[in-house]
Amino acid sequence: MTTPAEALHTQEMLINMGPQHPSTHGVLRVLLRTDGEVVVNARPDMGYLHRGLEKIGERVTYAQFMPFTDRLDYLAAMNCNCAWAWAVEKLAGIEAPERAEYIRVIVCELNRISSHLIAFGSFTADMGAFTPFLYSIRERERVNDLFEMTCGNRLTYNYARVGGVSADLPRGFLEKTKEFLDYFEPKIDEYNKLISYNKIFVHRLANVAVITGEEAVAYGLTGPNLRGSGVAFDLRKDEPYSVYPKLDFQVCVGSGERGTLGDCFDRYMVRINEMRESVKILRQAIARIPEGPVLAKVPRVFKPAAAEVYVRTECPRGETGFYVISDGTVLPNRLKIRAGSFVTMNIFEKVTRGLMIADIVAVIGSFDIILPEIDR
Amino acid sequence: MEALARSLVQAVPAIAGVPFWTVTLLVMVVTAAVLLVFALTFGGVGSYVLRKVAGDIQVRIGPNRVGPYGILQFLADGVKLILKEDIIPAKADRFLFVLAPYLVFIGSFAAFVVVPFGVGLIAADLNIGVYYVMAITSLVVVGILMAGWASNNKWALLGGMRAAAQIVSYEIPVGMAILPAVLIAGSLSLQDIVRSQGGLLGVFGWNLFHNPFTFFSFFLYFTAAQAETNQTPFDLPEAESELVSGYNVEYSGIRYAFFFLAEFGDMFIVAALATACFLGGWHVPFFRADALPALWGNLLSLGVFLVKAFGLVLVMMWVRWTLPRLRVDQLMRMAWKYLVPLTFANLLGVSLWLLVFKGKGIPQMIASIF
């Protein structure tokens, strides 16, 4: 005899989430196998935006590759620019002037703020609250204005150069940046009041997709996603580069304040707190920036000696690393790019098992992935 | 309806020779047309206001291109929707697909019939008004489920299932939250419920201030009704960021417009019912609108009713642009574990109050002291 539950024929549903879906943050495709609303398995399918940047890197000179790094993580193009510059400088043994390093830190931290703003805004929009998104866009607009002053561009900057930056900061830039910081710092509290501790928002994120510290390390998570699990690892502190050792700032880690350590809420909160730390870094950098040249003398056609380097920097979406092999010619012999978002997607299938469909959106938002960096 | 037709025959002797049923039919058609125009206008102007309110909350401008201050935007949108190509997916269940938007629209529009707009402005003062609204708005579930299934789209199906579960669950707290007003008036007719809140106690005649339980049940009703009509933060059936657009994802053109209008119709019905049952309906504070000559009384009470109802609609929009969305299981937990017991306890409280204090509210008791 069959019980009513057995007689009732049910089957799992295979749903295609993406590549055109409002909440996959780009052309990510997730194959969902669901039992009603509960996700049995979610397999991310990547590669829709593959442009072969690593291969292109082998066909253009070191200097020519700079604009391509803009297209790695377009929400944090300054960070990618500078990461490439630091990589090539280490490879060729070039040292950028101190003023250039300060400028790089300033634009990187500004871009970290604007990138985290988008992460915050799009995450809340994914959770159904559309208003904070436009608030974050309002603030990001002012960062874009600042970047426009430096290099004329608002999204893909191509500002860094091997040996420094393309142009000195224009007159009034530092004052304008200070103005922005004074305006922006109270806004973070406004965000917290508006949405961060909203009961519905906390309930949606707390205890969802918990990643323990060991798991995060084992899966190679970096950046805010790693720190959200309580691991205080920040390349700016642990493997200091540029002028970061001279600046005083905290490494923000998740605390499990509203749920379990390493849940979506912790990852979200790390980004909010990091914006505050970036403001702190910016204030110090503005106070200390020295006068001087902004570009070291680099030969127009330059051939680094045969060598290989791996340089990793702390980008808003985790560790961005360039592994460059030079064979002594003008072109790199091999270029490998390590992208934070790509590595983060490894753990996606594991943490989403047994969640609801709505949680998938929360997980993608809390990872703050960006597709051009994943697909490269 | 018949009474209106009879008075029309008396007022205009020229149509005395026409069979009486024709006059009645004519009156019916005209009433329906007036209500339809109202519903459509509300949907149009409502969408404009919604977008302007959203713009204001979200530090942007909102529609400002068509007409002064963009006020004609809704006409442009309407024309666009009518002219758009009507797409029916190849593998859709054509019959159900075509039928669904009309069911949804009818479910929301038919409730307008018993809305007491003014002293004498009600299309049909049914003696089961509240019950009728509860029943007819349930038609929306059928339509939404039908749309979700017939689209042959998994997102739409999920949206349809969510909607069915949600609307069926929230109907219980909605019904129980509105019953206190019925208990106080001793009638299911919405016009009777409004009349029971009159008197010269001003705003204190309203059921909202009748006793602590009714005060509470207004908020319970408003919350549950937002959920029943799929408004944010309970807009899971059409959760844009999860289900793309939910049950209406495959619809375009005029069929989509029907879903859209039904949504605004639902908004108005919720606001109208809350106004009628808790906020004194068309009663003007400290003034007897029903004592005025018919024309002025009706106009005044209509205005007051609309102001109150639109105020509530604005609150809904405000909530909509402020809060994030709940998750499915949280939504169900809220209905069954919190709202149902709360509304039930509340109903019990109101019943006991009416029994103990012989149907008198706090304001009446205070008034009787002086």
B16 shares its domain with B138: no
Region A220-247: mean pLDDT is 88
What is the residue whose two structure tokens read 């997916």?
A: B89
Give the A:B interface size as CB pairs under 8 Å: 81
Number of H-type helices and E-type strands within chain B: 15, 0
Is the confidence metric ipTM above 0.90 for this complex? no
Q: Are the Cβ atoms of A15 and B155 closer than 8 angstroms?
A: yes
- For B323, the closest of A15, A198, A357 (CB atoms) is A198
Q: What is the token pair recorded at B172?
A: 């219980």
Question: What digits encode the pLDDT tens for the residues A178-192?
Answer: 999 999 999 999 888
B141 shares its domain with B158: yes
Q: What is the token pair recorded at A335?
A: 């270029």
Q: What is the token pair recorded at A235?
A: 């390349």
Check pLDDT > 80 for residue B370.
no
Alpha carbons within 13 A on the beta-carbon side of A51 = 14
B79 shares its domain with B102: no
Q: Which helix (H) or strand (E) holds A29?
A: strand A29-35
Shortest Cα–Cα distance, B277 to chain A (Å): 29
* Contacts of residue A183, Cβ cutoff 8 Å, sequence gap at least 6: A142
Report the alpha-carbon distance of residue B140 to residue B159 in Å, rounded: 13
B159 shares its domain with B21: no
SS3 label, residue B289: helix
B39 shares its domain with B164: no
B211 shares its domain with B294: yes
In order of start, what are the domains of chain A with their CATH numbers? Answer: 7-375 (1.10.645.10)
Q: Are the Cβ atoms of B323 and A134 closer than 8 angstroms?
A: no
Residue B42 amino acid letter: F
B93 shares its domain with B30: no
B136 shares its domain with B193: yes
Which residues does residue A160 pair with via DSSP β-bridges, in sequence order? A165
Question: What digits encode the pLDDT tens for the residues A253-289?
Answer: 888 888 888 888 999 999 999 999 999 999 999 998 8
- Residues in B closer than 8 angstroms to A130, CB to CB, are 54, 58, 321
What is the residue whose two structure tokens read 């997980």?
A: A363
Region B5-19: mean pLDDT is 70
Region A327-355: mean pLDDT is 88
Q: Are the Cβ atoms of B327 and A127 closer than 8 angstroms?
A: no
Shortest Cα–Cα distance, A205 to chain B (Å): 10
Report the alpha-carbon distance of residue B24 to residue B4 in Å, rounded: 8
Domain boundary among B63, B83, B103: B83
* Contacts of residue A1, Cβ cutoff 8 Å, sequence gap at least 6: none
Domain boundary among B65, B83, B101: B83
Beta strands A13-17 and A38-45 are unpaired
Q: Which residue has the higher pLDDT, B235 or A331?
A: A331
Q: Are the Cβ atoms of B326 and A203 closer than 8 angstroms?
A: yes
A 163-202 → B contacts, CB under 8 A: 194-195, 198, 200-201
Report the alpha-carbon distance of residue A135 to residue B110 in Å, rounded: 40
Q: Which domain holds residue B352?
A: 87-369
Q: What is the token pair recorded at B206?
A: 């309203």
Question: What digits encode the pLDDT tens for the residues B288-309?
Answer: 767 777 778 778 888 888 888 8
Q: Which residue has the higher pLDDT, B250 or A110?
A: A110
Confidence of residue B241 (pLDDT cuts 50, 70, 90): low
A204 lies within 8 A of chain B by CB: yes
Model's pTM, two decimal places? 0.85
In 3D space, the residue among A342, A357, A313, A301 whose CA is nearest the CA of residue A33 turns out to be A357
Beta strands A29-35 and A13-17 are antiparallel
CB atoms within 10 A of CB A27: 18
What is the residue whose two structure tokens read 């206190």?
A: B180
Report the alpha-carbon distance of residue A206 to residue A210 in Å, rounded: 9
Report the alpha-carbon distance of residue B146 to residue B107 in Å, rounded: 13
The count of domains in chain B is 2
CB atoms within 10 A of CB B3: 9
In 3D space, the residue among A291, A283, A277, A284 whose CA is nearest the CA of residue A247 turns out to be A284
Q: Could you tell me which chain A residue has the CA closest to the CA of B232?
A: A128
A357 lies within 8 A of chain B by CB: yes
Handedness of CA B264, B266, B269, B274 (dihedral sign): negative
Q: In whole numbers, what is the pLDDT of chain B averaged over residues?
A: 83
Q: Are the Cβ atoms of A203 and B154 closer than 8 angstroms?
A: no
Question: What digits encode the pLDDT tens for the residues A287-322?
Answer: 988 888 888 888 888 888 888 899 999 989 888 999
Domain boundary among B51, B83, B115: B83
In 3D space, the residue among B232, B245, B203, B258 whose CA is nearest the CA of residue B78 turns out to be B258
B2 shares its domain with B104: no
- For B241, the closest of A15, A22, A131 (CB atoms) is A22
Buried b (16+ CB within 10 A) or exposed e, A171-185: eebbeebeebbeebe
CB A38 within 8 A of CB A51: no
Q: Distance from first CA to last CA of chain A, Å, rounded?
A: 57
* Helix pair B212-228, B253-278: axis angle to 10 deg: 180
B79 shares its domain with B93: no
B272 shares its domain with B362: yes
B266 shares its domain with B344: yes
Q: For residue A316, is the peptide bond before it cis, meaning its omega torsion is within 30 degrees of 0?
A: no
In whole angstroms, how large is the CA radius of gyration of chain A? 22
Question: What digits encode the pLDDT tens for the residues A75-119?
Answer: 889 999 999 999 998 888 888 898 999 999 999 999 999 999 999
CB A316 within 8 A of CB A111: yes
Report the alpha-carbon distance of residue B194 to residue B181 in Å, rounded: 9
Residue A291's Cβ-count burial label (10 Å; 0-12, 13-18, 19+) is exposed
Q: Are the Cβ atoms of A128 and B323 closer than 8 angstroms?
A: yes
What is the residue whose two structure tokens read 């859209």?
A: B260
Residue B63 amino acid letter: P
**Which residue of A12, A30, A134 is the best one to mutate when testing the B interface, meaning the one whose CB has the most B CBs within 10 A?**
A134
Check pLDDT > 80 for residue A251.
yes
Report the alpha-carbon distance of residue B304 to residue B275 in Å, rounded: 10
Q: Which residue has the higher pLDDT, B284 or A247?
A: A247
Check pLDDT > 80 for residue B97.
yes
Q: Are the Cβ atoms of A131 and B322 closer than 8 angstroms?
A: yes
Q: Could you tell me which chain B residue has the CA closest to the CA of A130?
A: B321
